[in-house]
Amino acid sequence: MRAEQKTASLMAGPYAAFLLVFAVYPIAFALVLVFLQWDLVTAPTFAGADNIRLLVHDGRFWRAVVNTFVFLSIHVPLQIVTALALALTLNRQLVGRSFWRAAFFLPVVISGAVVAILWSQLYATDVGLINRLLLKIGVSPVPWLTDPRTAMPAIAVMVTWKNVGFYVIIYLAGLQYIPRSCQEAIEIEGASAWQRFRYLTLPSLLPQTILVVTLSTINGFQLFIEPYVMTGGGPLRRTYSVVLYLYNNAFAYQKMGYAATIGVALALIIGIVVLAQRRLIGKAEAL
């Protein structure tokens, strides 16, 4: 219908234009920027493969990538275990279930900047809450954020704490989909609590686990405000994240071409990692 066509283009046209300007153009221009040198003041110059060459040999970039993997290796498993444990607990008959759920979800709604500022205090070596608690049980203060060995794990624990409520909800939703008949069947077969978990609950939650792995991985690659506020990337660059490096290149060093190159590389790494994870989980499932 011509009238329908016209109405539709009035209603959807602005969005199409928006997509062109704020999605399609930036994606295309990111690929152009990879080959440019540009400080936003003078005119951009063609740089050939300079940015790519620089990136390949850039120790700081690769340090940040390694840091991210360190972060993920702690964050992802910890996130799955904590979220699953809390979800299974909340899935029982509980008094005040929505209160517990709300409590665990609280950090999710709080700004990451606030959480980072708060946890800087909790992690503080001399006056931090955590060390004071440890002191009470006889553990000497740990320099959480200033020791290169503990800084990134400390941040990973904090991010896990902030997001766990979100993943609990995902697992709780998944638990609703396990048919009652399956649960009854496995109980009649005389399975122990652990066997029920191992052979029914865990496999049934595979889609949710894949989601948790994917989302927490993508989230990990976006790590920015935590190191920015808490450590500035230190100590010894051990908490430098890729996005922090990208931000500094753009904002502090005015190197748009190089910052965009980092962005493209990061997107590629995310794509490869997420696909690899899916493959791995798919293989594990087939076993």
Partner 1 sequence: MKQLRRIVLYAGLSIAAITFIYPFLWMASSTFKPPVEVGSLALIPHDFTLDNYRTMWARAPFGRALVNSTFVATTITLAVLVFGSMTAYAMARLNFRGRPALNAATIAVLMVPGQLTLIPLYTLIVQLGWVDTYAALIVPYLFNATAILMLRQFFLQIPQSLIDSARMDGMSEPRILFTIFWPLSKPVLSIVAIFTFMGAWNEVLWPLLVVREQNLMTLPQLLTVFALGGGAGSVGVSLASAMVLVVPVVVAYAFLQRNFIESMAGSGIKG
Q: What single letter denotes the amino acid at residue 48?
A: G
Q: Cite the DSSP H helix spans in 20-150.
A: 25-33, 50-56, 59-90, 97-109, 112-123, 129-136
- Alpha-carbon distance 44 to 143, whole Å? 45
Distant-in-sequence, close-in-space partners of 44: CB < 8 Å, separation ≥ 6 = 36, 37, 38, 256, 257
Span of 23-31, 52-60, 63-71, 137-145 interacting with partner 1 by CB under 8 A: 23-31
Kindly state whether residue 111 participates in binding partner 1, applying the rule CB under 8 A.
Answer: yes
- Alpha-carbon distance 68 to 54, whole Å? 20
Q: Which is nearer to partner 1, 27 or 280 (CB)?
A: 27
Kindly state whether residue 195 participates in binding partner 1, applying the rule CB under 8 A.
Answer: no
Kindly state whether residue 175 participates in binding partner 1, applying the rule CB under 8 A.
Answer: no
Q: How far is the CB of 69 from partner 1 (least distance, A)?
A: 16
DSSP for residue 46: E
Q: How far is the CB of 147 from partner 1 (least distance, A)?
A: 20
Kindly state whether residue 197 participates in binding partner 1, applying the rule CB under 8 A.
Answer: no
- Alpha-carbon distance 244 to 111, whole Å? 18
Subset of 63-92 contacting partner 1 (CB under 8 A): 86, 89, 92
Using only C-alpha atoms, the chain has a radius of gyration, in whole angstroms, of: 24
Kindly state whether residue 145 participates in binding partner 1, applying the rule CB under 8 A.
Answer: no
Distant-in-sequence, close-in-space partners of 68: CB < 8 Å, separation ≥ 6 = 220, 221, 223, 241, 242
Kindly state whether residue 35 participates in binding partner 1, applying the rule CB under 8 A.
Answer: no
Kindly state whether residue 112 participates in binding partner 1, applying the rule CB under 8 A.
Answer: yes
> Which residue in the set 42, 46, 109, 176 belongs to the binding site for partner 1 (CB under 8 A)?
109
Distant-in-sequence, close-in-space partners of 149: CB < 8 Å, separation ≥ 6 = 238
Kindly state whether residue 42 participates in binding partner 1, applying the rule CB under 8 A.
Answer: no
Q: How far is the CB of 9 from partner 1 (least distance, A)?
A: 6
Q: Hunting for tokens 């954020």 — which residue is that?
A: 145
Kindly state whether residue 166 participates in binding partner 1, applying the rule CB under 8 A.
Answer: yes
Q: Phi and psi dihedrals of 65, rounded to 5?
A: -65, -45
Q: How far is the CB of 79 from partner 1 (least distance, A)?
A: 13
Q: How far is the CB of 287 from partner 1 (least distance, A)?
A: 27
Subset of 216-275 contacting partner 1 (CB under 8 A): 218, 221-222, 224-225, 228-229, 242-243, 246-247, 250-251, 256, 259-260, 263-264, 266-267, 270-271
Q: Which is nearer to partner 1, 20 or 185 (CB)?
A: 20
